[in-house]
Structure 1
Amino acid sequence: MVVLGIESSCDETAAAIVTDDRRILADTIFAQIAEHTPFGGVVPEIAARAHLDHLDDTIAAAMRQAGMKFADLDAVAVTGGPGLIGGVIVGVMMAKAIALAHKKPFIAVNHLEGHALTARLTDDVAFPYLLLLVSGGHCQLLVVEGVGRYQRLGATIDDAAGEAFDKAAKLMGLGFPGGPAVAKAAAGATAPFRNLPRPMKGRPDCNFSFSGLKTALRQRVDALKAEHAFDDATRANLAAGFQAAVVDCLIDRTRHALELAQAAHPTLSALVVAGGVAANQHLREALHKLAAKHGIPIVAPPPRLCTDNAAMIAWAGIERLHAGERSGFDYAPRPRWPLDSAAPALAGAGVKA
């Protein structure tokens, strides 16, 4: 089976061609960083317009890279939500048009499921496994029991980790996107700030919160500026302190979720991390140590497949198609689409902020 995947849920315009024997024949991405950098974050209207402008060329590039024509495809998969609705509509309409014109099956994929199943594309991870999904709009812990079978153990009650990084970078004047900018600045720290709060740490549930940490950072930046002490060295130390606080929170919540998951699922196969923040090396190192303490493998896909991409959408489409599923051409794009519909609604559990 050969599937074209299309991703346009946020600020990455992407297309990929993937086979069901786990070969990525093409993987093309148009990153909209230049469009959003002046604003210090993603502007939905600008993102949707950029998808309109670049999706045709991105898909054409993927087809050339794979040396294929649309007739060679077995299906077309696309992110159907959750996400910025303008961008999701652009991708879904394009996927429907290709599928209709070339008489191919069409399948709308949950963007979160794309992240959740990436480890099966890269490492053929067996069900069940624990997933830490950390990105710009999502932050949650799920037991992945099978395709379409997800048990949410925790999610953010306010901001996602990636959003917190973006806003922290803007506060400190580090640029966009925030995660890489904070990590780069933190690498130059000589005396990281150690007294920033760790919200929710030690709580009996597995939920996250980052708004209080963000507020504490803003107050610290304002105080330093008032004292005329906000120079490059201080900025680096603040960035390191903020990064350490976020990672501490993620590790504490993941530790608790791992204990619960292993107790409920003795055959738990791995701890998997996915999403854009999963590219953070400080977080990866801490997760490796955590997994080793619990005697379980850690699976972290390559950074390119952690950030938004179309290969994960194509693969999730393959998994769904193998289960005998496909979508109707009356499918309506969804701005919200939680993986675990039975879990209480929380900010980072199916909404792209």
Structure 2
Amino acid sequence: MAEAAKERGNALYKAGKFEDAVKAYDESIAADPAIAAAHANRAAALTAMGRAKFNDATVACVEALCLDPSYGRAKSRLGALCVKLGDLEPAVAAAEARARSHPDHSPSSSLAKALRLLRDGRAAGNAAFKSGDVARALKTYSDAMLAAAAEAAGSDAAAAGAMDAEALCVAVPGAALLMCNRAACAASLGRHADALTDATAALRADPEYAKASLRAAHARKALGEHAAAAAIFAELRERLPGDASVADELNACRRAAGGDLAKLPTERAGVIEIESMERYRALIAKAPLCLIDFTAKWCGPCKQVAPHFAAMALANPTIHFLKVDVDERQDISAAENVRSMPTFKAYRYGAKVDEFSGADLGRLQGLVARYLPTLS
């Protein structure tokens, strides 16, 4: 029964039915609480439901790791959750609770200790960095990661000491947070190659770790690798369309790289004006959340709400705010069956989740408030 429920959960997860998948995994766990994969897969489904479920996903990952300390997928999922939360405390709390409920279970106490070492080392390193003692901050981050890795390796300090930056990020979930901060220290000390190594290693925990991508891009730029830096900023631009600093850095790196890159149009953060059906379909298919304003130049209410829509785009850089002129893009407005302006629609990964017509700013803000917590 437990295995069958787990497999049903896997099928539901693949179909994008995350809430139903969680229910199936719960059935599996109720039948057999010792199946680590059911806990780890439950964590994946909870994570897919957005930030509001990240703490629950963290607890599920900790349970999976305590059941099977060598479970690489559970370890990587917990590491990605620590990055997405930007905090080690939820993982520490979950591991400590697990250790208290299983006082004679050494994997639980070891995981809790390793996570505490990272949490406390990060706090101490941050304090040193803020005080201006960058070298001490760098050493503090390094020592904490090594100590945590040694704990995870069964107190084998030699094995931990032999790990490179990427191995450290893999060894202990959450180490990427310290690695990314160590990259900032290296950059401050003018050691840009080291900063690039550390930022790249931090991305091993979560390829969508925006802060690590930014630090890698800045390191490339400092090393004179402008085309490579531009490529990273361009990828970030796709994920953070409302981030003005990313757009500015992308423009600067393209100009510095020269050639065809310098000839590309200037990027501007904020609302994306849709000029083709292909672009429209591509964005709504892959973006975590798209809010589309179907507008017209002659529409008075459209003009009234436009500045607010533009301000919201800059205030919520992870959301894609799209603008479609219904007269210029009649193919899109016809496909979307737009009959009055303005009309607003919300898409999550290609699925329409909401829509309304009229210049109702409160309702538009309500869409953001409702769906922003579902982003990961």
TM exceeds 0.5?
no
Instruction: Identify which of structures 1 and 2 has the higher relative contact order when contacts are C-alpha pairs closer than 8 Å and 6+ apart.
Output: 1
The answer to which structure has the higher strand fraction is 1
The answer to which structure has the higher helix fraction is 2
Which one has the largest radius of gyration? 2
TM-score computed with the length of structure 2 as normaliser? 0.25
